[in-house]
Amino acid sequence: MAKLKIGICGWGNVATGLYEQLTNGNELYSDWEISCIGARRDNPRCNPGSVKILRDIFDVVKEDVDILIELIGGVETARDLISEALNSGKHVVTANKAVIFEHGEELIKLARKNNVRLLFESAVCAGTPTIKMLSNDLSANKISKVAGMLNGTTNFILSNMQEGASYADVLKEAQDNGYAEPDPTLDVNGTDAAHKIGILSALAFNTGLPSPEFYIEGIEEIKSQDFIYAEDFNFTIKHLAVAKLSTGGIELRSHPVMLDINSSLAGLKGVRNGIQFDTDLLGAFHVAGSGAGRESTASGLISDLHALSKSNEVSPMNYPDFSNKPNILNFNDLTFKFYVYLEVKDEPGVLALISKTFADHNISFDKVIQKDQLQNGSVPLVIFTDPTIESEMQIALEGLADHPEVLNSKIIRIEDL
């Protein structure tokens, strides 16, 4: 069989990692040859040997290649590049969750129109099998919930904070080790995980991709002290992205949660990603593995190349029904159990004020603990609530903020897995 010809666009971390795998002489990779690389500059990390280098990535589309691999990241230039490649009759493989989340529907329609494929296994959890597994292997199941720790940087930071490190120190360590981007904003603010859960939601529930206006919160406000309070009650803190089928629509959210310390996702440390799928036939089904890095991402990209090598007979993945628009439920109407942290003045009547404010909003307490006085003289109160409607909690906290006795407040939602 003739080898499939590949053009790689971008010459950064993932692209050079893929090149190193595909050229290491492993006979597993003998179905493809790298014809050219679109690299606007050299990368001292990797010498591409005699492979043709094109300084304009769009020139890769004009070359005689069967598959274009988009590894530039970002949204609009990537969209233009992928569109040109699909319109030129080339298959496209990408690791770019942002472009799939923002423009996946349009790009998949373009692929169909041109009778080529667009595959994106490594856009979610890098090489840990997720996309094709969900679209193909779980297709006999009705999925009711997908809950995932989908960002390696966030999990690296939180699992080190669990061991006592501070947020600032561990973020710096993640950057020094190359786990976090120089600008880690989209990782730590929950957006990267939100893109990924949006893609998984469409695949799990057979809908179009959701618009980005769902609830997204990052880990910036989590403090080491929260882990100590959480552990007192057998919880730990993770960043979770959730898509859940509920009456009337889909719950979609990306935010920090407290998880039972014995739940399967709670035990995943470092840059590992993990997902729990709740299904009718398999029950709760888990995948976990490396969610970032050169080798892991190369694994996902090469699995897409394999799928394309065999796709003359079979479609490599089932795309969702984009005409089925997802109805995303209003986050304010959802119900959670909450961890509430309050710093209050050490004065008589404060506890009564808090109890009354919460009672006025139908919020009842499962547990209330007063902790030791802080250096500034204030007292931390830790409250675990019974199930409470999100909007009621928000209004109660706004009400408390009007009282000078309440100095500080924070909530973390509790997730049952």
Rounded least distance, CB 59 to ligand NAP, Å: 11
Rounded least distance, CB 51 to ligand NAP, Å: 15
Residue with smaller CB distance to ligand NAP, 73 or 320: 73
Rounded least distance, CB 45 to ligand NAP, Å: 10
The DSSP annotation for 331-347 comes to GGG-EEEEEEEEEE-S-
What one-character DSSP code corresponds to residue 123? G
- Residues in the chain, how many? 417
Alpha carbon 61 to its chain's center: 30
Residue 75: which of 63, 83, 65 has the closest Cα?
83
Rounded least distance, CB 291 to ligand NAP, Å: 7
What's the CA gap between 197 and 230, in Å, rounded?
A: 25
Rounded least distance, CB 390 to ligand NAP, Å: 30
Residue with smaller CB distance to ligand NAP, 11 or 338: 11
Residue with smaller CB distance to ligand NAP, 126 or 230: 126
Q: In a 10 Å sphere around its CB, with 0-12 CB exposed, 13-18 middle and 19+ buried, how is residue 242 labelled?
A: buried
What's the CA gap between 402 and 67, in Å, rounded?
A: 60
What's the CA gap between 219 and 43, in Å, rounded?
A: 33
Residue with smaller CB distance to ligand NAP, 12 or 208: 12
Residue with smaller CB distance to ligand NAP, 269 or 356: 269
CA atoms lying within 13 Å on the CB side of residue 44: 0
- Considering the candidates 90, 97, 132, 196, report the single residue annotated as catalytic: 196
From residue 182, give the alpha-carbon distance in Å to each of 80, 185, 347: 25, 9, 45
Rounded least distance, CB 382 to ligand NAP, Å: 36
Dihedral (CA of 43, 48, 54, 59) sign: negative
Residues near ligand NAP (CB under 6 A) are 10-15, 40-41, 57, 71-74, 77, 95-96, 122, 126, 292-293, 297
Residue number of the CB closest to ligand NAP reads 12
196 flagged as catalytic: yes
Collapse the DSSP code of 158 into the 3-class scheme (helix H, G, I; strand E, B; otherwise coil) and give the result. Answer: helix
Q: How far apart are the first and last CA of the chain?
A: 47
Residue with smaller CB distance to ligand NAP, 40 or 356: 40
Catalytic residues: 196
